[in-house]
């Protein structure tokens, strides 16, 4: 066995923070326009803001790769402290009209503190972050509004949840339609064609070999296209593991009612041709069997390393109850 190969180095003006779940990895770009790419989970907003503040003094702009709760949770706090928020156009528009589907927060039962979007991003748009120009690359699939950020001089590509060193982003066939996996595959191909020197994924380590990471992700994405039921199962496992992480587990006796009350679970059951009760049972049994979840102290818990979340921080309204955008 050889030691893990070192990832390619980053320029001095970029600071990378690899974070355990439930926070997405965070990129800080130093310079005249200090910028943060993704802002972690709501329950860790203070920690995210403090980390960026210590290193950059202030954050002028937060750019979201997409609106899932582990990427936008610090938006509200950073915005209250003067930062702007930039996001892909479809998400920016939905956030502006306070669409109840924002962030899939209610659908996934993942709290997000209310925020607004100041800058709507389109494909090909060039954005100055720190002191460098970054190109917006629309990469729908994991979510319809998902985007990557490309810095051609240094060959840096921020890929969000589109891929990681070990996997590919899950796709939501119920919410985004049966074509979501093919859309994700096309986005991966587009990113691979950029031949980045450094791939910065939202979860896990920076891949030592970007080409190998793309090759693995493309194979995985093709399997999601070829096996829609497998794709539904993959999404269900990821969503449920995340729910357990942010709640410090769920009491064993409350797991089934929790699952049966979730829109994502009933949608997944419909796509799989199963009764929701059957899917809930199979999900728990299969995840216990694989070791992805464990029963400890009477609670079902996610096995993957994760940072505890203060329970009070989950008590934020779903987007349907978000206050209207403040005049800015
Ligand atoms: Zn995501």
What is the whole-number distance in angstroms between the Cα of residue 298 and the centre of ligand 1? 29
Does 311 score more than 60 pLDDT? yes
SS3 85: strand
- Contact between 64 and 52 (Cβ < 8 Å): no
Longest dimension (CA), the chain: 58
- What percent of the chain shows pLDDT beyond 90? 95
Distance, CA 66 to ligand 1 centroid (Å)?
7
Average of pLDDT values for 142-156? 98
**Cα–Cα distance measured from residue 66 to residue 35, given in angstroms and rounded to the nearest whole number:** 16
pLDDT at 129 over 50: yes
What does the pLDDT look like over 169-208, one tens digit per residue?
A: 999 999 999 999 999 999 999 999 999 999 999 999 999 9
Span from the CA of 222 to the centroid of ligand 1 (angstroms):
19
Surrounding ion ligand 1 within 5 Å at CB are: 68, 161
How far is the C-alpha of 74 from the C-alpha of 54, rounded, in Å? 15
For ligand 1, the distance from its centroid to the CA atom of residue 161, given in whole angstroms, is 5
**Beta carbons within 8 Å of 206's beta carbon, 6+ residues apart:** 7, 8, 16, 18, 165, 198, 199, 200
Looking at the DSSP bridge assignments, the partners of residue 134 are 127
Which neighbouring-strand residues pair with 43?
Answer: none
Give the confidence band of 6 by pLDDT, cuts at 50, 70, 90. confident
- Is residue 326 very low, low, confident or very high in pLDDT (cuts 50, 70, 90)? low
Q: Which residues contact 242 (CB under 8 A, 6 or more apart)?
A: 21, 22, 70, 108, 110, 302
266 C-alpha to ligand 1 centroid (Å)? 20
Q: Three-state SS for 321?
A: helix
| Cβ atoms within 10 Å, residue 254 | 12
Q: Is the dihedral of CA 65, 71, 76, 81 positive or negative?
A: negative
Burial of residue 201 (CB within 10 Å: 0-12, 13-18, 19+) is: buried
| DSSP string computed for 124-193 | T-EEEEBTEEEEEEE--SSSTT-EEEEETTTTEEEEETSB-SS-B----HHHH-TTHHHHHHHHHHHHHH
Helices (H), 5-133: 45-56, 69-72, 75-80, 89-96, 105-108
Reported as a single tens digit per residue, the pLDDT across 282-299 is 999 999 999 999 999 999
Q: How far apart are the CA of 131 and the centre of ligand 1, in A?
A: 27
Rounded alpha-carbon distances, angstroms, from residue 316 to 29, 87, 109, 194, 260: 29, 21, 11, 39, 22
Q: Which residues contact 221 (CB under 8 A, 6 or more apart)?
A: 141, 168, 181, 184, 185, 188
Does residue 247 register a pLDDT over 50? yes
Distance 239 CA to ligand 1 centre (A): 10
d(CA 227, CA 119): 37
d(CA 253, CA 250): 8
Taking a C-beta distance cutoff of 8 angstroms, is the pair 161, 145 a contact?
no
Do residues 256 and 210 touch, judged by C-beta distance below 8 A? no
What is the predicted pLDDT for the residue at 35?
98
Confidence of residue 327 (pLDDT cuts 50, 70, 90): low
CA atoms of 147 and 137, how far apart (whole Å): 6
Give the mean model confidence (pLDDT) for residues 18-28.
Answer: 97
What is the distance in A from the centroid of ligand 1 to the CA of 202?
8
Three-class SS of 113-138: CCCCCCEEECCCCEEEEECEEEEEEE
CA of 299 to the centre of ligand 1 (A): 25
Cα(60) to ligand 1 centroid in Å equals: 23
- In the reported structure, the alpha carbon of residue 2 is separated from the centroid of ligand 1 by a whole-number distance in angstroms of 32
Could you read off the pLDDT of 100-123 as tens digits, one per residue?
999 999 999 999 999 999 999 999
Report pLDDT for 1: 42
The pLDDT of residue 88: 98
């Amino acid at each position: 066995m050889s030691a893990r190969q070192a990832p390619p180095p980053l320029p001095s003006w970029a600071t990378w923070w690899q974070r355990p779940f439930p926070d997405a990895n965070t990129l800080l770009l130093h310079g005249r326009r200090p910028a943060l790419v993704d802002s972690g989970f709501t329950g860790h907003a203070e920690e995210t803001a403090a980390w960026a503040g210590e290193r950059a003094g202030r954050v002028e702009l937060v750019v979201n790769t997409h609106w899932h709760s582990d990427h936008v949770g610090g938006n509200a706090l950073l915005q209250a402290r003067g930062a702007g928020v930039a996001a892909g156009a479809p998400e920016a528009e939905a956030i502006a009209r306070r669409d109840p589907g924002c962030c899939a927060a209610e659908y996934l039962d993942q709290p997000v503190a209310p925020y607004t979007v100041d800058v709507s991003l389109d494909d090909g748009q060039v954005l100055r972050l720190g002191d460098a120009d970054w190109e917006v690359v629309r990469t729908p699939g994991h979510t319809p509004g998902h985007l990557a950020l490309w810095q051609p001089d240094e060959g840096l590509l921020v890929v969000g949840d589109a891929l990681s060193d070990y996997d590919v982003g899950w796709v939501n066939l119920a919410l985004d339609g049966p074509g979501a996996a093919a859309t994700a595959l096309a986005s991966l191909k587009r990113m691979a064609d950029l031949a980045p020197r450094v791939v910065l994924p939202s979860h896990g380590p920076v891949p030592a070999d970007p080409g190998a990471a793309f090759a693995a992700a493309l194979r995985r994405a093709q399997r999601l296209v070829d096996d829609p039921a497998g794709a539904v199962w993959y999404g269900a496992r990821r969503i449920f593991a995340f729910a357990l992480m942010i709640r410090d587990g769920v009491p064993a006796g409350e797991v089934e009612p929790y699952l049966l009350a979730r829109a994502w679970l009933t949608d997944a059951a419909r796509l799989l041709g199963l009764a929701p009760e059957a899917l809930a049972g199979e999900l728990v049994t299969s995840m216990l069997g694989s070791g992805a979840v464990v029963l400890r102290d009477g609670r079902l818990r996610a096995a993957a390393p994760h940072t505890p979340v203060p329970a009070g921080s989950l008590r934020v309204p779903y987007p349907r109850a978000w206050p209207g955008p403040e005049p800015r």
